[in-house]
Amino acid sequence: MKTVNVGIIGFGTVGGGAAAILAESDPPLSDKIGIDIRLKRIAEKNKGLWRPVGGRLDIFAERAEDVTDDPEIDIVVEVIGGIEPARSLILRALDRGKAVVTANKALLAARGAELFRKAMEKGTSIGFEASVAGGVPVIGAMRDGLIANRIEAIVAILNGTSNYVLTRMVEGGIPFSEALAEAQAQGYAERNPANDIEGADTAHKLVLLACLAFHSLVDLKDVPTEGISKLAAEDIRYAGEMGYGVKLLAIARRRPNGLELRVHPALVPKGHPLYSVRDVFNGVLVFGDATGPVLFCGRGAGRMPTGSAVVADIVDAARGTARQAFSKMAFLHTGPGAAPPVIPLDDIRTRYFVRFTVQDKPGVLGAIARVLGEKDVSIASVIQKEPVAGGGVPIVMMTHSAIEKNFRTAMEEIGRFPFCVRPPAFLRVEE
């Protein structure tokens, strides 16, 4: 039986999960794939995290170079996160001809082209299934299972922390701060949750999915990103009364004039496939020209789900299929030609949910309607709510499809009217 040795750099949540699967899976991986995959070394500088794996404690080392430089190790798994030293360690492993597996979406989104180029030069591969949606095998499915399709769009929930917070706001009727505190108490949110709730984590993952979907390099700076920290509980409540849920969405679409890329909270109707993706689950809706919509759903984070995705990439590398699949993705560092332009957010067209808090006086609705009409924003429906504490009457509107720049200009103009008690609040709608 062929033997393949694996080294893991980092023994946190993901590294611990991958190590446990490699050492303790029942039945053993060798029974499933006919290859003896052996965990040879784990590099973890924090000795306080060391604990026996497969009954062994001597498997640990403090230096990452004990993994990257070991000539007997065939596959290097990087799960320490961040840009450095992860980037340098991956390059060091690739220079030695080793296959690499990583869950580091931030690094790949920022420096992926450099790493992929090095892997191509050295005739090896980088597996990154675990970098998007945890245990949901969406990378492999888009790369291989949907190969016959021209991917037209991706609409996805890619961050379990934000999805949990929004689920609690919707189902518990509680404000953002309280929902976030619950997520932290449950271990779903970091002490500093900014990367998750402000959309950065989702944007990193969207970049990787968009590269695969459109066979073009996508730059992180071209992805407009908004988080959920400014969402008001009343907007979520009003949206629910109208038959909509609120999700933090990653959206990528082909358009005749380029690519549409954006991350922001949005309303989805009850009939939408992502409406029922709740709690810490991720959902990735992929639109292929042959298949139509395909939904991938599962736990997007956690020790064992993400560890499962890491091990799947290890198995591909051990079998030799990873190199073959990776060679098909030359566009990740060279591009198939000129990449399509990214459409500015100002030029996108979508529907909007908007809440005005105004004085209860004659002529207000007419003034709002006049400005919207002048900016080519058509009203689909309007509801006046009961007065709120602190003064003002909420007017909730749904618009028809409108251009973002026109809509925002209208909001700025309406917000300057003396009858506006608060600035208008709005959310985009994803049908």
pLDDT band at 79 (very low <50, low <70, confident <90, very high): very high
The residues, any chain, with a CB within 8 Å of residue 393's CB and separated by 6 or more, are: 357, 358, 359, 360, 384, 385, 386, 387
What does the alpha-carbon distance between residue 239 and residue 244 come to, in Å, rounded to a whole number?
5
Q: What is the pLDDT of residue 338?
A: 58
Mean pLDDT computed over 10-26:
90
Q: Please state which CATH class domain 141-299 belongs to.
A: alpha beta
Does CATH place domain 346-429 in 3.30.70.260?
yes
What does the alpha-carbon distance between residue 281 and residue 91 come to, in Å, rounded to a whole number?
33
- Asked whether the predicted pLDDT for residue 335 surpasses 70, the reply is no
pLDDT band at 333 (very low <50, low <70, confident <90, very high): low
pLDDT band at 216 (very low <50, low <70, confident <90, very high): confident
Prediction pTM value: 0.91
pLDDT tens digit sequence for 170-209: 998 899 999 999 989 988 888 889 999 999 999 999 999 9
- Name the 3-class secondary structure at 294: strand
pLDDT tens digit sequence for 125-139: 999 998 888 888 898
Q: What is the pLDDT of residue 198?
A: 96
Domain segments of the chain as ranges: 2-134+304-332, 141-299, 346-429
Instruction: For residue 270, indicate whether it is catalytic.
Output: no
Q: What is the pLDDT of residue 336?
A: 47
What does the alpha-carbon distance between residue 343 and residue 304 come to, in Å, rounded to a whole number?
38
Tokens of residue 272, six digits: 């939408």
What does the alpha-carbon distance between residue 196 and residue 211 come to, in Å, rounded to a whole number?
21
What does the alpha-carbon distance between residue 197 and residue 199 come to, in Å, rounded to a whole number?
5
What does the alpha-carbon distance between residue 26 and residue 19 come to, in Å, rounded to a whole number?
13
> Looking at the domain that runs over 2-134+304-332, which CATH code has it been given?
3.40.50.720
Residue in 98, 105, 205, 247 annotated catalytic: 205
What integer best gives the mean pLDDT of the chain? 92
pLDDT tens digit sequence for 337-393: 557 889 999 999 999 999 999 998 899 999 999 999 999 999 999 998 888 777 789
What does the alpha-carbon distance between residue 76 and residue 96 come to, in Å, rounded to a whole number?
11
Contacts 24+ apart (CB under 8 A), 188-193: 188/160, 188/161, 188/164, 188/280, 189/161, 189/164, 189/165, 190/161, 193/161
